[in-house]
Amino acid sequence: SRLDPSNGLCLNALHDRAFERGLIVVDDSYTLRVAPLLRRDDPVVQDWLVRFDGTPLRFPSDSPPGMGYLRRHRSRFEWAASL
């Protein structure tokens, strides 16, 4: 639900839009994953998205994002459903 603080990530505008469109997701180990369909040869895409693939996220240990919400988000995107 939108009122649950564990249903949120603090992202900049670019990464928020990429997350909403399924270009980036967060796996069960709270690691950022980037969609394989992105053009990895594009220097802008490489610099702003692809280079973060595999990066562990950091957040307050007492309030991590809800795993159920992250799993539901991944399930919306075929490439990420099995992560």
Range of the domain at 29: 13-80
**Residue 7 counted as domain residue:** no
Q: What is the pLDDT of residues 35-71, one digit of tens each?
A: 999 888 899 999 999 999 999 999 888 889 999 999 9
**Residue 46 counted as domain residue:** yes
pLDDT at residue 1 above 80?
no
What is this structure's pTM?
0.90
Q: Please give the pLDDT value at position 72.
A: 96
Q: Please give the pLDDT value at position 5.
A: 87
Q: What is the pLDDT of residues 8-25, one digit of tens each?
A: 999 999 999 999 999 999
> Beta strand 32-34 with 24-26: parallel, antiparallel or unpaired?
antiparallel
Q: Please give the pLDDT value at position 2.
A: 79
Could you say which DSSP state residue 7 is in? S
* Overall number of domains in the chain: 1
**Residue 68 counted as domain residue:** yes
CA distance 27 to 52: 13
**Residues 6 or more apart whose Cβ sits within 8 Å of residue 66:** 4, 6, 7
